[in-house]
Structure 1
């Protein structure tokens, strides 16, 4: 999918417009002059453009990573509690590999490796084809700098539109996998969420990918994307986003399977939508799942500000009643 970037000035413009229209922060009532109730306000923990968030916890600190801005290839922020975040202006991935062009570095995923280093799985534009493809870089620290000297992408099915939205998963037995999406909606093709097996070091792909799910439900529109796999008990939950990311119809769904490679069965309804949030999350998606300091799951995602000029990051409780995921807005 195409993810246009918004300059920081747009965020300030949106804030200014909200102030002019009398919208009070936090979804409070309108002004005392009787102008009526304000629109619901987003519950952002990062209230600036921070789309496609990925979060890991390491050594007492949470690290969040996000799609590029005009200034950096990969954004990052830190927190001790998932609630208060310090957004860095440094670039954890300052130099892209030779195969990649700058400006479209999307949906980063960072994972600890067995040797103590960290892997950054990223999406970038493959220069010869202008398609989006997936690469991997490494660093000795979660704050980078991540480095890749690869001459070609890790995953790049050009005849299927390329590949985006890499998400790593390590099973209980130590097996490593990468879930991703073929970017078929770029060129009128299906969008499959796929699973590739990684080598033990996490840096190479082994064998052929396995198809997991594609768009089939009315609420999903023309695409599914942003896969995230979580093991819960004896089942595997595949979280994903679907529909047009640029509007309120974008939403999150899930599917369950007895094995990491499927077969996955989709839920009857979406997991989390604009309506389910009471319109506090406009087009929620690009999700990740992380364990909070209290030992319970949280789901991290982006959604739009009321002016639809940037996508901030939110964190909600993720409950499992009857071993089925439910987002508590």
Structure 2
């Protein structure tokens, strides 16, 4: 199916299911109220497919026809299907984080973070499948990226530029070893399986709101140029104090796919809040930009909370919000949610 036809189908699916909330409704509500951290979403054959950090399977998945109603990808007996049932020789199971997929030719590539069997750190690998639901296979003896001098590497984000060139962005996990964290960019080979040239540092944890940690890059070619969305600060929620998480999402403007990049002065774009009218949001992070039709969306996770905005369960829910640009700057609309019965008419 041609790309423009795919986008048209996706756009038609969306309009029937979600609406802009009334003034008294919360600004952000989850579309999936179960643990689904570090989300990534793609569209294939009439459905959206979402992937997350492991929660049982190495690579759990959800599917949706409208971005609002989601269901687990499961076998007939209800058992969740693992899109990557066997780890690479270099990797251990149970610490498979932040997966993102990209189609390359007739193959699907999975970029993922996993615990190294030889090193006490996380590293990045790439696996291949003929279908976006797997099974993805990585037979590599060594990871694709592992910055051992920087505490390891996590959060891979593949990006295809308008000229077809491929890039990979990732975080050096310096905060795990008492160093600064960086977000890096590097060219990928045309097949997406190898790195080309030197890695370029694009961002570091030099802003007050970042609390000495940056991670989870998501590069996009926006109507106004290249912009990298990313998260900052400690991802957790301070349960003993029942305070809102410092984890937040910002962006940087970049002159090209390998920078240089500059933090937006209005950061963070998305942060925790507890407001009588706007509702509650705690720890919104790990942004993933994707597109359906001409509309961009931002998928992210936030902590499960009570109506009083206190910790509910140690789970991170899936949120999706429309992403716009105004005067060259990104802005988020209220998150997607199901239409009310009276609105369906």
Distance in 2, Cα, partners of 1:215 & 1:60: 39
Choose which of 252, 257, 270 in structure 1 pairs with 2:268.
270
Query: Residue 234 of structure 1: CA displacement?
Result: 5.0
Choose which of 7, 32, 35 in structure 2 pairs with 1:46.
32
Contact (CA 8 Å) 2:59, 2:96: kept in 1 or not?
Answer: yes
Query: Residue 326 of structure 1: CA displacement?
Result: 0.8
CA distances 1:241-268 after superposition (whole Å, capped 9, x unpaired): 0001002110000000121111111111
Aligned partner of residue 136 in structure 1, secondary structure: strand
Match status 1:258 vs 2:248: no
Q: How does 1:115-130 map to 2 (within 5 A)?
A: 116-130=106-120
Aligned partner of residue 280 in structure 1, secondary structure: strand
Aligned partner of residue 213 in structure 1, secondary structure: strand
Contact (CA 8 Å) 2:167, 2:257: kept in 1 or not?
Answer: no
The 10-residue stretch of structure 1 (149-158 or 50-59) with the greater mean CA deviation from structure 2 = 50-59
Match status 1:104 vs 2:104: no
Choose which of 64, 83, 86 in structure 2 pairs with 1:92.
83
Choose which of 122, 127, 136 in structure 2 pairs with 1:137.
127
Contact (CA 8 Å) 1:42, 1:305: kept in 2 or not?
Answer: no
Distance in 2, Cα, partners of 1:204 & 1:210: 16
Structure 1 moving runs of 4+ over 6 Å: none
CA distances 1:114-153 after superposition (whole Å, capped 9, x unpaired): 2x11000000001111210000000000000000100000
Distance in 1, Cα, partners of 2:113 & 2:216: 12
CA distances 1:294-318 after superposition (whole Å, capped 9, x unpaired): x211100000001251001000111
Unaligned runs of 5+ in 2: 1-20, 74-79, 238-244, 306-311, 335-345
Query: Residue 280 of structure 1: CA displacement?
Result: 2.9
Aligned partner of residue 280 in structure 2, secondary structure: coil
Contact (CA 8 Å) 1:132, 1:164: kept in 2 or not?
Answer: yes
Aligned to 1:20: none
Aligned partner of residue 219 in structure 1, secondary structure: helix
The 10-residue stretch of structure 1 (269-278 or 49-58) with the greater mean CA deviation from structure 2 = 269-278
Query: Residue 275 of structure 1: CA displacement?
Result: 2.5
Distance in 2, Cα, partners of 1:251 & 1:308: 19
Contact (CA 8 Å) 2:100, 2:157: kept in 1 or not?
Answer: yes
Query: Residue 287 of structure 1: CA displacement?
Result: 1.0
Query: Residue 58 of structure 1: CA displacement?
Result: 1.9
Aligned partner of residue 325 in structure 1, secondary structure: strand
Number of residue pairs aligned between Structure 1 and Structure 2: 292
Distance in 1, Cα, partners of 2:227 & 2:139: 34
RMSD in angstroms over aligned alpha carbons? 2.1
Contact (CA 8 Å) 1:166, 1:226: kept in 2 or not?
Answer: yes
Higher relative contact order, chain-length normalized (CA < 8 Å, sep 6+): 2
Query: Residue 42 of structure 1: CA displacement?
Result: 6.3
Match status 1:319 vs 2:324: yes
Aligned to 1:213: 203
Distance in 2, Cα, partners of 1:201 & 1:41: 41
Q: TM-score, normalised by structure 2?
A: 0.81
Q: TM-score, normalised by structure 1?
A: 0.85
Q: How does 1:123-202 map to 2 (within 5 A)?
A: 123-202=113-192
Distance in 1, Cα, partners of 2:107 & 2:274: 39
Distance in 2, Cα, partners of 1:161 & 1:316: 33
